[in-house]
Amino acid sequence: MERILVTGGAGYIGTHLVRQLLSQGHFVRVLDNGTFGLSGLRPFYGLNRFEMQKGDIQITAHLRKSISTIDKIIHLAGIVGNPACSFDKDFCHEVNVVATRRIFDEAARGNVKNIVFASSCSVYGYGDDIFTEDSRLNPVDYYSETKVKGEAIAQAYKDDLVVTLCRFSTVFGAFTENAI
């Protein structure tokens, strides 16, 4: 049984991931500030392998508490999409870049062995080509720039941690709120 921390675990991807990890027998701790609610995690409250910590990835004390006794981190938390990032670039930078560095710093200091970083296919920019993980990065907006910076942070830790980058495209499906 792995002990896994999911940052941003109350989000759309996070709630589905938490369900899957629990079904596989893992202990799952979620660190989420609850900006978009925590209702997706309600089915897991009371399970002995689930722990919810309401907190902020920008606050080192919250990270240290959440990372203690954890084997693996899946870092999903962040400001998502260019409209949100362009609205307040400083805040976006603090969350998507500075807090990401803090998470990797704390992971390397702790007993964490693996960390998965949620990036975005937006790092490739626009085009009709089929992109692969070896395609040239071409960030065309502030959001994608922060994701490229986050990937660079992650890569800088590859000697200390097993690092996995996931470049998600637009995710949708069952239980998508505010969907058409």
CB-facing half-sphere around the CA of 61: CA atoms within 13 A: 0
Which residues have a catalytic role annotated?
A: 143
Residue environment code for 23-58, b if the CB has 16+ CB neighbours within 10 A, otherwise e: eeebbbbbbbbeeeebebbeebeeeeebbbeebbbe
> Which of 11, 94, 24, 35 is closest to 59 using CA atoms?
94
Residue 96 tokens, joined: 């998507």
- In whole angstroms, give the CA distance from residue 49 to residue 69: 13
Residue 3, CA distances (Å) to 40, 51, 56, 68, 74 in order = 20, 11, 20, 10, 11
